[in-house]
């Protein structure tokens, strides 16, 4: 049986009462520390220091303990370990692959699609995924200053066609319960809003973040609340993640998953079948499987569109339709996500 890091090898696990904020503060932030913890030779990853300087490494210890020891091709490790390939130029890849900058209406607010807007709630994430489409995003210019949401809120108030607000970032669940409550409460005063969507990787990266206070606040909102998690591989969903996701489901929160199709990580049919089954066991429905956004530094993760379409066909032959995610790409300037058969 593959060996993973024992829970007691981390301070966060040896102190059951440690807060999620303290766990976040103890995240690994250097490639050397990460590799040493996992018993790996740095030479396996080539020259990774340059990539680390370009886009920093960050991995909570709760996520680290799910990675197999002494396994350089572990699918969870490959998502977060800096690699020299990130520094190679690639045609068609850029720093704003989905047109976020052009869709910015006020600092912290993006309006791409009819009926919904997205709020950049924070620049912070609990984990730095190497394929992140916002790895070059200018958060200092595009984030509401000092948690002042007045311009963004005023924009929403003036457009009665907006029915849904999406909290994104960074990762909105990095914010404290108090800050989230304040923002949600302000949004709840806008009559034409009916849906709140939260995009977060924390339920599968730092499950202790899903506090009772957070669950109660979301379940008591006047909004129809949907939490879209981001899991790419079945190994990310263990008993701890199932527990918190079920807690959210029982509280009436709609749970969906968005994954990114990544070469060497989840591009095989067995990977995707296992992921869909693991999600459903945790009360989460597969939603989107994204083709890789062409962001500089991530070209080595790309899966060919033809291969991706064959993968979805294979899933349809093995799974019920509700467990097969929609294969999509986000194209800058389009008025919705683009299904693969329309590419």
Q: What is the pLDDT of residues 154-202, one digit of tens each?
A: 999 999 999 999 999 899 999 999 999 999 999 999 999 999 999 999 9
State the pLDDT confidence band at 143, using cuts at 50, 70 and 90: low
Q: Do 73 and 119 reside in the same domain of the chain?
A: no
User: What is the spatial distance between Cα 264 and Cα 301, in angstroms, rounded to a whole number?
Assistant: 7
Residue 2 falls inside a structural domain? no
Report how far residue 130's alpha carbon sits from residue 193's, in angstroms, rounded to the nearest whole number: 34
pLDDT at 47 over 70: no
**Residue 114 domain-assigned (yes or no):** yes
Same domain for 331 and 223, yes or no, is yes
**pLDDT score, position 247:** 98
CA 171, 233, 116, 211: dihedral to nearest 10 degrees?
-50
pLDDT tier, 140 (very low <50, low <70, confident <90, very high otherwise): confident
Q: What backbone torsions phi and psi does residue 196 show, to the nearest 5 degrees?
A: -125, 125
Rounded Cα gap, residues 330 and 320, in angstroms:
25
Domain co-membership, 52 together with 153: no
- The predicted structure's pLDDT at residue 19: 95
Say which residue, 32 or 64, is predicted with more confidence.
Answer: 64
Average pLDDT over residues 253-258: 98
Q: Is residue 97 part of a domain?
A: no
Q: Does the pLDDT at position 51 exceed 50?
A: yes
- For the ranges 101-110, 147-156, 210-219, 325-334, the one whose mean pLDDT is highest: 210-219
**Mean pLDDT computed over 292-311:** 94
Taking the C-alpha atoms of residue 281 and residue 259, their distance in angstroms, rounded to an integer, is 17
How high is the pLDDT of residue 145?
A: 56
Same domain, 281 and 169: yes
Q: How many CB atoms lie within 10 A of CB 113?
A: 15
- Domain of 12 in residue numbering reads as 7-87
* Residue-level pLDDT at 8: 44
pTM value is 0.92
Angle of helix 212-219 relative to helix 177-188, nearest 10 degrees?
A: 0
Predicted pLDDT at 10:
42
pLDDT of 303: 97
* Choice between 170 and 236, residue whose per-residue pLDDT is larger: 236
Task: Please determine, for residue 49, whether its predicted confidence score (pLDDT) is greater than 90.
Answer: no
121 and 44 co-located in one domain: no
Q: Which residues pair with 225 in a beta bridge?
A: 196
Q: What is the CATH number of the domain that holds 337?
A: 3.20.20.70
Q: What is the mean pLDDT of the chain?
A: 90
Cβ-contact 219, 61 below 8 angstroms: no
Task: Count up the domains in the chain and report the number.
Answer: 2
Residue 306 lies in a domain: yes
Residue 212 above 80 pLDDT? Answer: yes
| Confidence check: pLDDT of 224 > 70 | yes
pLDDT of 338 above 50: yes
* Whether residues 320 and 220 fall in one domain: yes
Alpha carbon distance 217, 153 (integer Å): 20
Query: 13: pLDDT confidence band, cut at 50, 70 and 90?
Result: very low
Is residue 320 pLDDT above 60, yes or no?
yes
Shared-domain flag, residues 236 and 198: yes
Q: Do 137 and 67 belong to one domain?
A: no
Shared domain for 70 and 32, answered yes or no, is yes
pLDDT of residue 332: 85
**Confidence bin at 83 (pLDDT 50/70/90):** confident
Which of 83-87, 96-100, 111-115 shows the highest mean pLDDT? 111-115
| Within a domain: 96 | no
The per-residue pLDDT for 11 is 41
Of 61, 87, 113, the residue at which a domain comes to its end is: 87
SS percent in the chain: helix, strand, coil, step 5: 40, 15, 45
Residues 175 and 35 grouped into a single domain: no
Q: Are 255 and 284 in contact (CB under 8 A)?
A: yes
């Amino acid at each position: 049986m593959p060996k993973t890091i024992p829970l007691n090898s981390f301070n966060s696990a040896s102190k059951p009462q440690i807060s999620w904020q303290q766990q976040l503060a103890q995240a690994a932030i250097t490639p050397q520390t990460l590799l040493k913890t996992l018993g790996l030779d740095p030479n396996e990853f080539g020259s990774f220091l340059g990539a680390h300087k370009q886009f920093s490494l960050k991995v909570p210890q709760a996520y680290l303990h799910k990675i197999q020891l002494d396994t350089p091709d572990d699918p969870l490790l490959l998502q977060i370990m800096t690699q020299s390939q990130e520094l190679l130029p690639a045609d068609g890849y850029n720093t704003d692959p989905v047109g976020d900058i052009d869709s910015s209406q006020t600092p912290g607010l993006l309006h791409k699609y009819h009926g919904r807007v997205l709020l950049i709630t924070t620049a912070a994430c609990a984990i730095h995924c190497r394929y992140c489409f916002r790895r070059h995003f200018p958060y200092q210019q595009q984030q509401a200053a000092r948690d002042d949401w007045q311009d963004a809120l005023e924009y929403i108030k003036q457009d009665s066609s907006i029915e849904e607000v999406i909290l994104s970032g960074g990762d909105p669940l990095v914010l404290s319960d108090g800050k989230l409550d304040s923002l949600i409460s302000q949004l709840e005063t806008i009559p034409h809003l009916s849906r709140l969507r939260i995009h977060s990787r924390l339920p599968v990266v730092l499950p202790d973040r899903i506090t009772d206070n957070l669950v109660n606040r979301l379940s008591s909102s006047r909004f129809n609340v949907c939490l879209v998690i981001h899991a790419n591989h079945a190994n990310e969903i263990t008993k701890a993640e199932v527990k918190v996701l079920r807690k959210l489901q029982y509280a009436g929160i709609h749970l969906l998953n968005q994954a990114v199709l990544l070469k060497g990580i989840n591009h095989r049919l067995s990977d995707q079948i296992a992921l869909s089954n693991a999600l459903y066991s945790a009360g989460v429905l597969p939603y989107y499987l994204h083709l890789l956004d062409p962001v500089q530094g991530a070209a080595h993760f790309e899966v060919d569109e033809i291969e991706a379409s064959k993968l979805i066909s294979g899933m349809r032959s093995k799974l019920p339709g509700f467990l097969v995610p929609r294969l999509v790409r986000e194209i800058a300037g389009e008025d919705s996500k683009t299904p693969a058969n329309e590419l």
